[in-house]
Structures are given as structure tokens and as C-alpha cells.
Amino acid sequence: MDLLRSVPQPPVGAVRFPGVDDFALRKGASYANACSSPMTVRHREIPVRAEIRDRPHRRVDDHEAVNTDYWAVLADSDREQWGFVPRRTVGPLDFGVDRHEAVTIMAGHGFVAEECEIERWNPQRAQWRVEFRRAESDEHQPAVKCYFIEGVGLTCVFVDGLHGPQVTCEGIRLIGRVAWELDAELEAGAVERGLSWWYCPTGYVCWADFSFERGAQVAGDTLLSWASFGNPGELANSSWDMAPAEVRHHGWSAWN
């Protein structure tokens, strides 16, 4: 590296389209920035930011809150605790409930609602998304999203992995878990209970006939679990078929 630095570099000149990115000097301990010009593929070193360099590394844990520049993970003890009865209820919400009634129910649990009509699942039926936020930590990403179809009511409930309520199924916590650890627990739990399990389309272990799907979203250098719960009824073959595309892709956009 010293030899490369000793080679004279021609002047960069005017930079019209600057690019900035972070890279690890030592993962979890020290980071630096790289500034480049995409048009000339020239790079410039920038000193390590002190607040990142000096930040101690901590592994994301199921039971503690973790804060970084981009992610805030709600401690499990601070999450509202919800139960789940397949195809019937998620927390305080019953499948089939009208969206206005759902807003009233969630308000009783401290959630503020924001609703909008979305692309129709069926051309003949309007569909709505209602986002529920509970606190300032939910400013950028709602804790819960509910989806309603005209004449059917609530069909899908999505719970965010970073700060959504904790949903427990058969004694197993599904939200905000390290993804591969939850995989192992669900697989072992299925064997213990004599249940069928499978890999859902996102690639994570789920229990057959329980009508929930799992995914993972970025939290620092860890993937934490989210889940969607559905009641396909007579409209679809599975809860995955009922989930809007935005649910399936949750957590993979930049910075989420």
C-alpha cells in the first residue's frame, strides 16, 4: 500500500458526480470512508470518523436494544407481546375485521394509524394498507402493516423485525430474532410437536398449515426476522399468495 501511495498521481480536476462509501478497516471496530469520481474511477482517502472508530462492537441480541446510525432495534422486553392463532387472530386483531374497527382497536394499544389505498389485488375489489406506529422509533418504518380487501376485511398482518410487537406461536418468539437461530428453533419445534415444516419462498423455515411467512431484514451486520400472518380464506391458496409484493420484499431496499 505504501508503494502504491508513493506513485505520483495526476490531478483529479473537477468532479461532477462524487461518490461516497464506507468500508471496514476492522469489521465491527473501525471504519473509513472512500470518496470516488465514477467518471474517472479515482479515489481519495478520508480519515476514519471518530464516532464510528471508537464505537464498541456489540452483537445484536434477542433481548437487548441496539442502536446504530441507521437501525434501532427495540429490546424484546419493550415490545408489546402478541399471541397468534392461525387464520383467526394476531394480537388484538381478528382476521376479517373492518379497517376502521382495526384502527380503533390499535389506538387502544397506543398505535397511530395512517391508511392509503394500494394497487388492487383483484380488479373488482379495492385494497388498503394501514400502517401503525407507536413511538418516535417507528418514524421511518411502521411497527405493523395491515392489509384489507373490500368486502373481506383484514387479510394480512405484517410485523416489522426491528420494532414490531413480539408475536409468539406455540411458545416460540417469531419477531426480531437472529434469522438462522430462529430457523433452528422452528425446525426442532416442528420435530418435537410432530408438525410439518418447509422453507417458505423467502428461504426461511416455516410451519406448514400455520399461515405465517418469514423473512429477514438488515440490522447492522445481522439479519433479524420479520413475519407476515394471513388468512387466505377462499381467495387464495396460501398466506403467501395473499401477501402484497411490498411485504415479500421487505427489508432488502437500501437502508430499509
Domain boundaries of the chain, sorted by first residue: 2-57, 72-248
9: part of which helix (H) or strand (E)?
none
Give one DSSP letter per residue of 50-87, joined into a string. HHHHTPPP----TTS-EE-SS-EEPPGGGSPEEEEETT
- What kind of fold does domain 72-248 have according to CATH? protein yfey like fold (2.60.460)
Q: What is the pTM of this model?
A: 0.70
Separation of alpha carbons 20 and 33, rounded Å:
7
pLDDT by residue for the chain (256 residues), tens only, comes to 566 566 666 665 665 656 666 666 655 555 566 666 555 544 444 444 444 444 444 444 544 444 444 567 889 999 999 999 999 999 999 999 999 999 999 999 999 999 999 887 677 788 999 999 986 555 667 999 999 998 899 999 999 999 899 999 999 999 999 999 999 999 999 999 999 999 988 899 999 989 999 999 988 778 999 999 999 877 777 777 777 778 877 654 433 3
